Chain A
């Protein structure tokens, strides 16, 4: 049996894990199992590896974009490594990643911690959107006094 990672050497390390009731098997050669850190007790590596192997195929099916404009990373690179090139890759390959993330995680939206800096800009964005909506309403209602005040507030952002 050949190694699932390099497809060249004889597999000597056989891994089985049950994820969401489904059995997943991965066969690796000595070199790849070391390289992938299968013996790493820290817990990151194995899950990544197991999901990573199927992940690339999943993304290939879904996506149409070939290269990330920010970092030049391609789908072929993802297939090879199971890793992405940069943060913008999530946007670039969002189509293909959507299915992948859905199958991999509990949900598709982050509901956890937000860094303080990001929180500020998220709040600012939503404030701007609220003001713009109110401004449209005020203009439609011909309430020019409010409109002028809202416009001034928007200018401050």
Chain B
């Protein structure tokens, strides 16, 4: 199947219909595996990397889950195509930098993606919308079991699956959930939450942006350790913590609605106004304003059909996604104009935020016309 077909469809996990999908954008589990009789990719010589690739790729393509797969050598992807795949979370930034000797195989629904010769010989991921870590783990675990019937994985009874980096040894598993936490950010409780989660050995970081900055109020929560704990226990622990984070976020939303409704409405209203009328917008501003639109939909200020277009904009306004739609190379300012244009056209038909009864903004949408 052609990459073109993959890229024109948005992928199942972006569909946004999993459990708790309002707050949990997606759940993902990744497994790192290596062949026993070869050096890790970073230390292997070029001809060894090619041997590894030819040992693994046909076996991956034979998997029943990959019968409709898109399978390609890294050197056959353009820089832009790789960047689009990075923005879709289908390959890592590190993998995008690879050329000869690496490959990626993904299913049509974009729920499974297998990188060959990334940092490890195999990095296999499953991703789905909403909070469904358990089923996502099952998906990738099944794939792993099928592959290990045909491939000899580096494994030590004491240390488990051996990986290039000691931080991944043991289960070789990274499970994560992408969560949208605008109310915790607005009410300045987010740092407390992050610290509490860190204390129990899970990591929280902003999805976009560097350091502590979290653009679009999107965070990724993942397990930090991989040795000394069973896969199912790691998943269960993470699941429980995510449920608690959801509860905190929901409480924070209720608190804002009751105690600081104007702060909330101001952010949502400004987001709506600027997104609908801007002619130039960088990706940072877009992510932050789209986050408030998403919150507004969750809170019922916009009708439900507004959800999908907003969710899609998070992805479509990323630099490579903008670029892939046009034939000439866009400069940064041209990208900002195009981004604003796409957002304007998508939001053109959106109604004004309808502020329900009870809040001080009651009837604001009408009185503003007077």
Binding site for B on A (CB under 8 A): 13-21, 33, 37-48, 51-52, 55, 71, 73, 77, 81-87, 90-91, 97, 100-101, 104-118, 122
Interface size on B (CB < 8 Å)?
63
B94 an interface residue at 8 Å Cβ cutoff?
A: yes
Q: Are A83 and B164 in contact (CB under 8 A)?
A: yes
Q: Are A45 and B94 in contact (CB under 8 A)?
A: yes
Partner of B227, one of A71, A82, A101: A101
Q: Inside 8 A of A73's CB, which chain B residues have their CB?
A: 39, 43
**Bound complex: CA A39 to CA B92 (Å):** 10
Q: List 26 A-B contacts (CB under 8 A).
A: A13-B210, A15-B211, A16-B212, A17-B203, A39-B210, A41-B205, A46-B205, A52-B167, A84-B43, A84-B166, A86-B43, A90-B169, A106-B201, A106-B225, A107-B227, A109-B159, A110-B157, A110-B170, A110-B228, A112-B230, A113-B160, A115-B153, A116-B145, A116-B149, A118-B153, A122-B157
Q: State the majority secondary structure of interface residues on B.
A: loop
Q: How far is the CB of A70 from chain B (nearest CB, A)?
A: 8
B111 an interface residue at 8 Å Cβ cutoff?
A: no
B30 an interface residue at 8 Å Cβ cutoff?
A: yes
A-B pairs, top 9 by smallest CB distance, nearest first, are A107-B228, A110-B160, A87-B154, A105-B227, A106-B228, A85-B43, A87-B162, A40-B93, A18-B198
**Bound complex: CA A84 to CA B154 (Å):** 13
Partner of B148, one of A55, A86, A90, A116: A116
Q: Are A104 and B93 in contact (CB under 8 A)?
A: no
Q: Are A43 and B166 in contact (CB under 8 A)?
A: no
| Chain A residue with the shortest CB-CB distance to B230 | A112
Q: Are A43 and B174 in contact (CB under 8 A)?
A: yes
Partner of B40, one of A41, A48, A83, A118: A83
**Bound complex: CA A117 to CA B36 (Å):** 12
> Given that A87-B162, A114-B155 are contacting pairs, would A41 and B207 also be in contact in the complex, using a CB cutoff of 8 Å?
yes
Q: Are B157 and A115 in contact (CB under 8 A)?
A: no
Q: Are B170 and A112 in contact (CB under 8 A)?
A: yes
Q: How far is the CB of B93 from chain A (nearest CB, A)?
A: 4
Q: Inside 8 A of B55's CB, which chain A residues have their CB?
A: none
Q: Are B141 and A87 in contact (CB under 8 A)?
A: no
Q: Inside 8 A of A77's CB, which chain B residues have their CB?
A: 43
B336 an interface residue at 8 Å Cβ cutoff?
A: no
Q: Inside 8 A of B176's CB, which chain A residues have their CB?
A: 42-43
| Chain B residue with the shortest CB-CB distance to A28 | B210
- Binary contact track B216-232/A, C-beta < 8 Å → 1, others 0: 00001010111111110
Q: Are B210 and A51 in contact (CB under 8 A)?
A: no
B199 an interface residue at 8 Å Cβ cutoff?
A: yes
- Binary contact track B325-348/A, C-beta < 8 Å → 1, others 0: 000000000000000000000000
Q: Are B40 and A115 in contact (CB under 8 A)?
A: no
Q: Are B205 and A43 in contact (CB under 8 A)?
A: yes
| Chain A residue with the shortest CB-CB distance to B175 | A43
B171 an interface residue at 8 Å Cβ cutoff?
A: yes
> Given that A16-B212, A52-B167, A90-B159 are contacting pairs, would A112 and B94 also be in contact in the complex, using a CB cutoff of 8 Å?
no
Q: Are A108 and B89 in contact (CB under 8 A)?
A: no
Q: Which among A55, A84, A100, A108 has the greatest number of chain B C-beta atoms within 10 A?
A: A84
Q: Are A52 and B169 in contact (CB under 8 A)?
A: no
Q: Are A105 and B228 in contact (CB under 8 A)?
A: yes
Q: Inside 8 A of A33's CB, which chain B residues have their CB?
A: 210
Q: Are B154 and A51 in contact (CB under 8 A)?
A: no
B9 an interface residue at 8 Å Cβ cutoff?
A: no
Q: Are B43 and A71 in contact (CB under 8 A)?
A: yes
| Chain B residue with the shortest CB-CB distance to A55 | B166
Q: Inside 8 A of A44's CB, which chain B residues have their CB?
A: 30, 92, 94, 119, 168, 174
**Bound complex: CA A13 to CA B230 (Å):** 35
- Binary contact track B131-175/A, C-beta < 8 Å → 1, others 0: 000000000010011001100111111111110111111110110
Q: Are A37 and B92 in contact (CB under 8 A)?
A: yes
Q: Are A45 and B92 in contact (CB under 8 A)?
A: yes
Q: Which among B155, B209, B212 has the greatest number of chain A C-beta atoms within 10 A?
A: B155
